C-alpha cells in the first residue's frame, strides 16, 4: 500500500521546511526520489540554501519508508547537490553559476553610464515617505475595517476615503467636494483615461492642452481619438481666452495652480475666461492639481473647480504629496458625470486596493497627512533656497523661474545651448531634462511657440546624501 501511494504522488507538501512538488518516476522509489530532487535543484526550483523537510516529515508526506528518503538525501549529499550539518538539517548546496558573457553594446551606439545624480522632474523625495506613520495608520485602518471592505466594493472607492477627501479638499484646496461626487482611481493617468472614454462617448472630438506638458498625456488623448490643439502658455499661464477660437474643442486640460513644467500660476483673468468659456459652450475643464499643496512664497492658489463645480473636473493625487507607488488619485466630478465615469471604470479598472484606501483615509483624518505635507513643504523650500543660492554664486548668469511652488524650477539658458547642456550633464553623471521634450505644437496651426532653451530641474527628489553632489554637478555644466 505504501509503495502504491508513493508512485501515485504528484504533489508532496512537507510539514517542515520547504513544500515540495515532486513527481516520482522510474523503476524504484529511491531512484525516483533522488532523480526528482536532483532535477528540482538543477533547474533552480529549489534555490541554494533552501532547507529541506526532515527525512521523517518527507517520508510521511510521500507515504514511503523513512530509510528511502534518508538514503536519497545521503546520495545527493555525496554528489554535492545537498549539504547536511548537525543542527541545521539538510539544505540545497550553494553552487557557483557558470559565467555568461555579457551582451555587447551595439557598435553604432556607445553605452551610456548610469546617472549618479537624478534631477529629472516628476518625483518627490521618496526617502522621506512616512513609513512609520503610514504603518500605524494601516494598522488602525485594518483593525477597524468592516469585513465587507475586503470584498468587491463601490466603484467610486471606499466611503471612508471619499468622506476624508471631501473634508480635506474643501478646507485645503477650496474644492466643492461631496463624497458622492468623488471617484477614486489608480493615478492621474487612469483618471484621464476614464475621462477620455466618457468624452468620446459624448461625441467630443477635441481637447485643448497646454503648449507645455507631458507627452504621455497628449499621447493618451490622441490614442483615445481626440484631437489636441495647443493652448499657448506665457508668463500668466495658459491663454484661456483662445479657447473660444479653437474650433471644435469640447474640453480643456489645464494645470492652473502650477503650470507643468513652466511653474507659472494661471492669472485671475484667465481663470475667469476659462470658466466663462465652459459655461457658454457647455465644455468641460479638466483641472490637474498635481502638487497644489506645495506653495512657498504666498498663500496656495485655490482650485479652479471652486468657481464652477458643474463645469470643472478636479483631479488630485497622492503621487507628489506621498509617493507615486501608492497609485491613489481622485476625481471630483460634476454630478451628471458620476454615473458615466463609474460605468467607464467598470470596463477599465473596477476598484483600487481597499486597504490602501482605508489607510489613506485614516492618514488624513488622524492629521498625519497635514503634518507630513507641512514637513515636506518646509523641506522642499529649503532645497529650493539652497539651489537658488548656489546658482547665484556659481552661475550668476542663469535666470531661475517657476520658484513659487512645486518640486522643480526652470533654469533659462542662452539660445541654442539646451541640448549641449543636457549632454554635458549626462557626461557628469547627472540626469536633467530640457524644456524641449515638453513642447507641443501642431503642424499647420499657424502659430509657433517662442524658442525657449531651459532646464527643468527637480530639487525635491535627491536624497540628502546625493543632494550636494547633484547641486555641484549641475553648477559645473551650466554656461
Domains defined for the chain, CATH in brackets: 2-92 (1.10.10.10), 117-124+371-477 (3.90.1150.10), 131-367 (3.40.640.10)
Reference 257, options 404, 427, 359, 41; nearest CA is 404
pLDDT at 36: 87
φ/ψ region of 402 (left if φ > 0, alpha if ψ in -120 to 50, else beta) reads left
Alpha carbon 229 to chain centroid, angstroms: 27
Looking at residue 205, its pLDDT comes to 94
Backbone angles phi, psi at 94, to 5 degrees: -75, 125
N-terminal to C-terminal alpha carbon distance within the chain: 85
| Prediction pTM value | 0.79
**Residue 85: per-residue pLDDT:** 81
What is the pLDDT, as a whole number, of residue 56?
87
pLDDT at position 448 over 70 = no
Encode pLDDT of 361-395 as tens digits: 999 999 999 999 999 999 999 999 999 999 999 99
pLDDT reported for residue 112? 53
State residue 234's pLDDT score: 92
**How far is residue 368's CA from residue 362's CA, in Å, rounded to a whole number?**
8
Report d(CA 206, CA 381) in Å as an integer: 38
| Per-residue pLDDT reduced to its tens digit, 53-94 | 888 888 888 888 888 888 888 888 888 889 988 777 899 888
pLDDT, position 443: 53
**What pLDDT was estimated at residue 12?**
38
Average pLDDT value for residue range 450-472: 91
When pLDDT is averaged across residues 132-149 and rounded to a whole number, the result is 95
Rounded to the nearest integer, the mean pLDDT of the chain is: 87
pLDDT in tens, 272-319: 999 999 999 999 999 999 998 999 987 778 899 999 999 999 999 999
Range with lowest mean pLDDT among 34-43, 110-119, 161-170, 346-355 = 110-119
**So what's the pLDDT on residue 4?**
39
Tell me what pLDDT residue 26 has.
62
Confidence band (pLDDT; 50, 70, 90) for 108? Answer: very low
Residues 6+ apart with CB under 8 A from 312: 275, 278, 284, 285, 286, 287, 304, 305, 334
Judged against a pLDDT cut of 70, whether residue 267 lies above it is answered with yes
pLDDT digit string, tens, across residues 167-196:
999 999 999 999 999 999 999 999 999 999
- Residue range 33-38: average pLDDT? 87
Q: Which residues contact 415 (CB under 8 A, 6 or more apart)?
A: 451, 453
Asked if 376 and 382 count as a contact pair (C-beta separation under 8 A), the reply is: no
Report d(CA 312, CA 285) in Å as an integer: 5
Rounded to 5 degrees, φ, ψ at 209 are: -130, 155
- Residue 7's pLDDT band, with cuts at 50, 70 and 90, is very low
Residue 18 is predicted with a pLDDT of: 56
Amino acid at each position: 500500500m505504501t509503495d502504491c501511494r508513493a508512485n501515485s504522488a504528484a504533489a508532496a507538501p512537507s510539514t517542515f521546511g520547504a513544500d515540495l512538488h515532486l513527481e516520482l518516476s522510474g523503476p524504484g522509489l529511491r531512484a525516483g526520489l533522488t532523480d526528482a530532487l536532483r532535477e528540482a535543484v538543477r533547474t533552480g526550483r529549489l534555490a541554494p540554501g533552501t532547507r529541506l523537510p526532515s527525512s521523517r516529515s518527507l517520508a510521511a508526506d510521500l507515504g514511503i519508508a523513512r530509510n528511502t528518503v534518508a538514503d536519497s538525501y545521503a546520495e545527493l549529499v555525496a554528489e554535492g547537490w545537498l549539504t547536511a550539518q548537525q543542527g541545521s538539517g539538510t539544505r540545497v548546496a550553494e553552487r557557483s553559476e557558470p559565467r555568461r558573457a555579457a551582451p555587447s553594446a551595439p557598435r553604432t551606439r556607445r553605452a551610456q553610464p548610469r546617472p549618479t545624480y537624478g534631477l529629472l522632474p516628476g518625483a518627490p523625495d521618496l526617502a522621506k515617505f512616512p513609513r512609520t506613520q503610514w504603518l500605524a495608520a494601516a494598522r488602525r485602518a485594518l483593525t477597524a475595517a468592516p469585513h465587507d471592505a475586503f470584498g468587491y466594493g463601490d466603484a467610486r472607492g471606499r466611503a471612508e476615503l471619499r468622506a476624508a477627501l471631501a473634508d480635506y479638499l474643501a478646507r485645503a484646496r477650496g474644492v466643492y467636494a461631496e463624497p458622492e461626487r468623488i471617484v477614486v482611481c489608480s493615478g492621474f493617468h487612469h483618471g484621464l483615461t476614464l475621462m477620455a472614454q466618457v468624452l468620446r462617448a459624448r461625441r467630443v472630438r477635441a481637447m485643448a492642452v497646454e503648449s507645455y506638458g507631458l507627452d504621455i498625456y497628449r499621447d493618451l488623448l490622441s490614442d483615445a481619438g481626440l484631437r489636441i490643439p495647443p493652448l499657448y502658455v506665457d508668463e500668466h499661464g495658459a491663454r484661456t481666452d483662445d479657447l473660444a477660437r479653437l474650433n471644435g474643442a469640447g474640453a480643456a486640460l489645464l494645470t492652473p495652480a502650477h503650470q507643468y513644467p513652466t511653474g507659472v500660476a494661471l492669472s485671475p483673468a484667465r481663470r475667469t475666461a476659462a470658466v466663462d468659456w465652459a459655461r457658454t459652450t457647455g465644455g468641460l475643464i479638466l483641472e490637474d492639481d498635481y502638487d497644489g499643496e506645495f506653495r512657498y512664497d504666498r498663500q496656495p492658489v485655490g482650485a479652479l473647480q471652486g468657481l464652477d463645480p458643474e463645469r470643472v473636473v478636479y483631479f488630485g493625487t497622492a503621487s507628489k504629496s506621498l509617493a507615486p507607488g501608492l497609485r491613489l488619485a481622485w476625481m471630483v466630478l460634476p454630478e451628471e458625470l458620476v454615473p458615466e465615469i463609474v460605468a467607464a471604470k467598470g470596463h477599465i479598472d473596477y476598484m483600487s486596493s481597499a486597504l490602501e484606501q482605508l489607510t489613506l483615509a485614516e492618514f488624513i483624518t488622524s492629521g498625519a497627512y497635514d503634518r507630513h505635507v507641512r514637513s515636506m513643504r518646509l523641506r522642499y523650500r529649503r532645497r529650493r533656497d539652497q539651489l537658488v543660492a548656489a546658482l547665484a554664486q556659481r552661475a550668476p548668469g542663469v535666470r531661475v523661474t517657476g520658484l513659487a511652488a512645486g518640486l522643480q524650477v526652470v533654469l533659462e539658458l542662452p539660445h541654442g545651448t539646451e541640448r549641449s547642456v543636457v549632454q554635458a550633464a549626462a557626461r557628469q553623471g547627472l540626469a536633467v531634462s530640457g524644456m524641449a521634450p515638453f513642447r507641443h505644437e501642431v503642424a499647420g496651426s499657424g502659430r509657433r511657440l517662442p524658442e525657449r532653451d531651459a532646464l527643468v530641474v527637480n530639487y525635491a527628489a535627491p536624497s540628502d546624501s546625493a543632494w550636494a553632489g547633484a547641486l555641484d554637478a549641475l553648477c559645473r555644466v551650466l554656461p
